[in-house]
Chain A
Amino acid sequence: MLEVAHLSVQYGRHRAVDNVGLTVGAGEIVVVLGANGAGKSSVLKAVAGLQRPGTGTRVTLGGRELVGLPAHTIVEAGLALVPEGRGIFGELTVRENLLLGAFARRARADEDRNRARVLALFPRLAERLEQTARTMSGGEQQMVAIGRALMSAPEFLLLDEPSLGLSPLLCGELFRALERIRGDGISVLLVEQNAKRSLAIADRGYLIENGRVVGAGRAADLARDPAVQRAYLGGTRQG
């Protein structure tokens, strides 16, 4: 169980995240919905150790306190982040990106099995192992980013707007992949603007506005909620 409580993030005088609390249970997909600049990315960065959260913040993974740990130690604790903009090593090959994914000590024992899993999940990567990552399409780079995160044998996978910039077809593939990842026993926390697609695969969701949680519930209920439909699903738009 990943538990976040009283999370705040401050940039100078600007409070980007204010007293956010959320939980991700084992085997769950949880989505955080919000507009641009609502503070979604800051939540993930703070949980992953890339951004120092404010005092009083508590983040625990299976009861272990993560606040204050450096980012590389948090990966060892079983939490992998696919950051905004993907954060792959563009100058390195796909093979090298996956090799580094398993740099964590926790990942070494099951490295071969995880690699086989990643390549089964994204067969495209198996054909392109020797390609330099930055020369790939956006969708393929997203596969590299998720594949690299999975190579660290995480219990919790965090994704920052993975569908950004992807075609509807690739989006569908991506969300199906996330369902399969959950099927392998990995919990998923993603922040998204694509509410329709993400609520369709999620178990639960949180709504975030101006750095605060303004709503939460089961994904199916959120998808039917008229207020959510107005704010995040663009009325009657089908997408």
Chain B
Amino acid sequence: MLLEVTLSGVTLGGMYALVAMGLTLQYGVARIMNLSYGELLIAAAFAALWFYSGLALSPLLGLLVVPPLAFALSYAIYRILLQPLVRRAKTRDALEVDSILATFGLLFVIQGVMLAVFGGAYYSYSFLSIPLNIAGATVAANRLLALVLAVVIGLGLYLALTRTRLGTAVRAVAVDPVAAQLVAIDVRTASALAFALGGALVAAAGVLVSMFLTFNANLGVVFTLKALVVVIMGGVGNLLGALIAGLILGLVENYVAVFIDPGLTLAATYAIFLIVLLVRPQGLLGRSSR
């Protein structure tokens, strides 16, 4: 029982971590606090659903198609909707406020379209729902596959950001956008790419989530909030922190839901969040002065 709950918590935590890594890219590098972030996750989940039940194609194929589309869409959103805000913002703080307002509007646009097309009903599809036996615990194959893919994607991103010159350049923009220009980094393009990459990540998470969770058109904001909690808990801009905080959140939510009361899941989330904020306001792995 404990092992089963733990495995399922780790899977959920892996999703949270992936989603938080994407938000870290958008917020830490492009400095856009994107409130419509979770909507893209749900849109990707619907796309995977359509792939599976509409086109009879595997969601794994969706994983190859949907994130690149989300990348292109996010890139366009940044260039068309957000870049004018970047251009006119006098300070990074001003940009933050503007981006919150703009993406708050975007949230309702995307959500409205999804509600118009799919209504408020819950959707799910049955893909690889084969019970697997791991050390006495029963886990659905789709969950395990989602976890493995999340680890692969997350690890790939982490290595790309820490082991390549281009990835290091992306992190440099987060550290100091003015100094980044002085080493020939085109900060605007780097920001657009980071924003788009964040969109691709959350779309990948959406496809994975759709493989084992039921979802509806209203659920995006839940993922946005969880991503925010995980990012702040892990330390803003810290990828490793996002990973750890995501796993903690997924585990605690599952433990509380199974062993105490499912109704207390959200309460537990925010209790942890509050404790972290009180004890380590800079986040688990954040720097005290940033």
Binding site for B on A (CB under 8 A): 48-50, 70-73, 75-76, 80-81, 83, 87-92, 96, 99-105, 107, 148-149, 152
What chain B residues lie within 8 Å of A71 (beta carbons)? 181-182
**Most interface-central of A87, A88, A149 (chain B CB within 10 A):** A87
What chain A residues lie within 8 Å of B287 (beta carbons)? 91
Contacts A/B (CB < 8 Å), 14 sampled: A48-B182, A50-B178, A50-B182, A70-B181, A72-B181, A72-B186, A87-B176, A87-B179, A89-B175, A90-B175, A91-B175, A99-B165, A100-B185, A149-B182
Given A91-B287, A92-B172, A103:B165 Cβ within 8 A: yes
Q: Please give 16 more A-B residue pairs, beta carbons under 8 A apart, in addition to A73-B184, A87-B182.
A: A49-B181, A71-B181, A72-B186, A72-B187, A83-B179, A83-B182, A89-B175, A90-B175, A96-B168, A100-B168, A100-B172, A100-B183, A101-B183, A104-B183, A107-B184, A148-B183
What chain A residues lie within 8 Å of B181 (beta carbons)? 49-50, 70-72, 75
A103 to chain B, nearest CB (A): 5
Given A72-B187, A89-B176, A90-B175, A99:B168 Cβ within 8 A: yes
Select from chain A the residue with minimum beta-carbon distance to B238: A91
What chain A residues lie within 8 Å of B182 (beta carbons)? 48, 50, 71, 75, 80-81, 83, 87, 149
What chain B residues lie within 8 Å of A75 (beta carbons)? 181-184
Q: How far is the CA of A103 from the CA of B168 in the complex (A)?
A: 10
Q: Are B179 and A103 in contact (CB under 8 A)?
A: no
Chain B contact residues: over half helix, strand or loop, or mixed?
A: helix
Q: Are A72 and B179 in contact (CB under 8 A)?
A: no
Q: Are A100 and B165 in contact (CB under 8 A)?
A: yes
What chain A residues lie within 8 Å of B143 (beta carbons)? none
Q: How far is the CA of A72 from the CA of B187 in the complex (A)?
A: 8
Q: Are A89 and B184 in contact (CB under 8 A)?
A: no
Select from chain B the residue with minimum beta-carbon distance to A88: B179
What chain B residues lie within 8 Å of A104 (beta carbons)? 183-184
Q: How far is the CA of A75 from the CA of B181 in the complex (A)?
A: 8
Q: Which 8 interchain pairs have the tightest Cβ spacing?
A: A104-B184, A87-B179, A71-B181, A75-B184, A89-B175, A100-B183, A72-B184, A91-B175
B136 to chain A, nearest CB (A): 43
B31 to chain A, nearest CB (A): 16
Q: How far is the CA of A70 from the CA of B179 in the complex (A)?
A: 13
Q: Are A152 and B183 in contact (CB under 8 A)?
A: yes
What chain A residues lie within 8 Å of B175 (beta carbons)? 89-92
Q: Are B179 and A89 in contact (CB under 8 A)?
A: yes
What chain A residues lie within 8 Å of B251 (beta carbons)? none
